[in-house]
């Protein structure tokens, strides 16, 4: 799987674009299976890098979502409230929320697409 290079990735399988859009990776949605519910914070919520900010529920499990960087929520993807399956269809296109990034240098601590791909392969034991 090749991952979009216009964003950074976490070892918890979230992605973030330089303008603050956050979602989960294709690997994450594939591992979860059919997503039935996405629980996101309200606009104005302060996120802290590495801390949970919501959950994604699939037919298999409920998984926490972790903030890739610190910032303030500026928008949530309202479509996911009624159509959470959009994440399964296009995980890298279906952003979950947008934040105003507090410290852009925090992005430097995240994985590039190539590093994330390597991490996923190693995690899977390939």
- CATH code, 20: 2.40.50.100
**56: helix, strand or coil:** strand
d(CA 61, CA 6): 29
Task: Assess if residue 59 is contained within a domain.
Answer: yes
Say if 55 falls within a structural domain.
yes
Q: For residue 76, is it within any domain?
A: yes
Task: Give this prediction's pTM.
Answer: 0.95
Residue 43: which domain range? 8-102
How confident is residue 1, by pLDDT bands cut at 50, 70 and 90?
low
Question: Total structural domains in the chain?
Answer: 1
Check whether 125 has a pLDDT greater than 90: no
Ramachandran quadrant class, 118 (left: phi over 0; alpha: psi -120 to 50; beta: rest): alpha
Query: Is residue 109 included in any domain, yes or no?
Result: no
| Confidence band of 4 (pLDDT split at 50, 70, 90) | very high
In a domain, 61, yes or no: yes
């Amino acid at each position: 799987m090749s991952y979009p290079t216009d964003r950074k990735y976490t070892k918890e399988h979230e992605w973030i674009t330089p303008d603050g859009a956050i979602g989960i990776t294709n690997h994450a949605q594939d591992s979860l299976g059919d997503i039935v519910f996405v629980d996101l914070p309200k606009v104005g919520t302060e996120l802290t890098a590495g801390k949970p900010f919501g959950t994604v529920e699939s037919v298999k499990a409920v998984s926490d979502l972790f903030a890739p960087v610190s910032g303030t929520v500026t928008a949530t993807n309202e479509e996911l409230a009624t159509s959470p399956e959009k994440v399964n269809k296009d995980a890298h296109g279906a952003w979950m929320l947008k934040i105003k990034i507090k410290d852009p240098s925090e992005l430097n601590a995240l994985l590039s697409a190539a590093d994330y791909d390597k991490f996923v392969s190693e995690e899977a034991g390939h």
